[in-house]
């Protein structure tokens, strides 16, 4: 594992961000038109998979970092890792949340609504809760921060050789907790502990661990992994489609129709890239770079578009699909600017600060 950035992962990030963005933007349109209903059925069937793919990718990236940078326990390295992660998550979240607060005040004629007051509470500002007013996309960030906290603990206390045993026990503990809560043996006292999506980090982590040791030996297993992932995901998408308007998969279906295929795709695509048998188009790499901005900016754009449709007659009379394409395009354009002027500077500053700690 010598590459600095894995392009196939950037391609998967691009896909995950765009399907989540398209799902929310198209679903926000009135479903009175035949074509918009077809589009809504399609994006609602696949869109939620994007979150599961993001979580699985996060697990893989952590393996990449630990296997490359960690040998022995080191509090300094652990803090260096944590600083980089926090600088990656919080600044853009605060900018988009602030934008949503200002937009809400504008749309309410200068009145500070209840959701704005709630958004200014410290648990929302620091992502200590999972129900985020105004910036609804940010509900996933609390899971990411929790996972980073577990990785921080591992880096402080354990050498690299205990990486897989440590996280296997961690995943098993979560699995048993979920089973106990499901069967009424424990109270539902913590949304985080009872959420099966926590296990998705482990799937990505395990895929990364296997690739670290076995990517150079075989080719056929990578192709089989991709094919099996495509079959399982197709079953999940079709299952979701047949349940419209209630498209949610149940608890364990999410794991074997979304999380497991995500890990299989990562293992297959990254493995082929590391063998020199796969290249990712430049556009997908570029969109992968700005995927976090796409994910966080699409909700503000949805709200801004709603504001525009109230005061602009021309926009009101556009076909909903034309509106959706325009809004998706605006999200992408703003995301490139956001990455250049917000994300990238904070990433660079975090690396400098982490360098001082090391």
User: If residue 18 lies in a helix (H) or strand (E), which one and from where to where?
Assistant: helix 7-27
Domain residue ranges in the chain: 7-85+138-357
Are 95 and 103 in contact by the 8 Å Cβ rule? The answer is: no
Q: What is the pLDDT of residue 1?
A: 47
Quote the CA–CA distance of 255 and 253 in Å, as a whole number: 5
Are 231 and 268 in contact by the 8 Å Cβ rule? The answer is: no
Q: What is the pLDDT of residue 34?
A: 84
CA distances to 8, 129, 245 from 147, rounded to whole Å, are 23, 15, 32
Q: What is the pLDDT of residues 37-77, one digit of tens each?
A: 889 988 988 998 999 999 999 999 999 888 887 788 889 99
Chain centroid to CA 158 = 27
DSSP code at position 83:
H
Secondary structure (H, E, C), 157-222: HCCHHHHHHHHHHHHHHHHHHHHHHHCCCCCCCCCCCCCCCHHHHHHHHHHHHHHHHHCCCCCHHH
Task: Provide the Cα torsion 201, 205, 206, 212; round to 10°.
Answer: 170
pTM: 0.94
Quote the CA–CA distance of 258 and 276 in Å, as a whole number: 27
Low-confidence ranges of the chain (pLDDT < 70): 1-4, 184-194, 245-248, 358
Are 111 and 126 in contact by the 8 Å Cβ rule? The answer is: no
Q: What is the pLDDT of residue 247?
A: 59
How crowded is residue 271: how many other Cβ atoms within 10 Å of its Cβ?
Answer: 26
Secondary structure (H, E, C), 286-349: HHHHCHHHHHHHHHHHHHHHHHHHHHCHHHHCCCHHHHHHHHHHHHHHHHHHHHHHHHHHHHHH
Helix (H, G, I), strand (E, B) or coil at 33: coil
């Amino acid at each position: 594992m010598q590459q600095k950035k894995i392009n196939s992962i950037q391609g998967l990030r691009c896909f995950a961000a765009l399907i989540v963005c398209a799902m929310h933007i198209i679903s926000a349109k009135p479903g009175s038109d035949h074509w918009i209903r077809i589009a809504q059925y399609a994006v609602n069937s696949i869109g939620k998979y994007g979150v599961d793919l993001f979580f699985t990718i996060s697990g893989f990236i952590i393996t990449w970092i630990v296997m490359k940078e960690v040998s022995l326990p080191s509090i300094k390295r652990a803090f260096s890792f944590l600083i980089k992660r926090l600088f990656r998550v919080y600044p853009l979240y605060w900018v988009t949340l602030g934008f949503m607060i200002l937009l809400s005040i504008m749309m309410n004629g200068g009145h500070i609504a209840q959701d704005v007051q709630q958004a200014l509470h410290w648990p929302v500002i620091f992502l200590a809760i999972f129900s985020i007013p105004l910036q609804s996309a940010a509900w996933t960030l609390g899971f990411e921060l929790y996972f980073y906290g577990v990785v921080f603990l591992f880096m402080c206390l354990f050498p690299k050789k205990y990486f897989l045993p440590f996280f296997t026990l961690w995943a098993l503990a979560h699995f048993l907790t979920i089973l106990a809560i499901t069967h009424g043996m424990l109270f539902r006292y913590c949304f985080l502990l009872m959420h099966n999506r926590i296990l998705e980090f482990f799937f990505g982590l395990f895929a990364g661990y296997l690739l670290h040791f076995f990517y150079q030996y075989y080719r056929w297993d990578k192709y089989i992994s991709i094919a099996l992932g495509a079959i399982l995901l197709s079953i999940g998408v079709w299952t979701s489609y047949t349940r419209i308007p209630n498209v949610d998969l149940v608890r364990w279906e999410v794991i074997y129709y979304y999380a497991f295929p995500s890990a299989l795709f990562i293992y297959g695509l990254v493995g082929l890239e590391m063998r020199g048998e796969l290249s990712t188009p430049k556009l997908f790499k570029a969109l992968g770079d700005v995927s976090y901005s796409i994910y966080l900016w699409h909700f503000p754009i949805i709200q801004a578009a709603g504001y525009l449709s109230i005061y602009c007659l021309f926009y009101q009379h556009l076909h909903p699909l034309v509106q959706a394409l325009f809004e998706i395009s605006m999200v992408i354009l703003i995301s490139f600017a956001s990455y250049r002027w917000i994300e990238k500077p904070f990433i660079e500053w975090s690396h400098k600060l982490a360098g001082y700690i090391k």
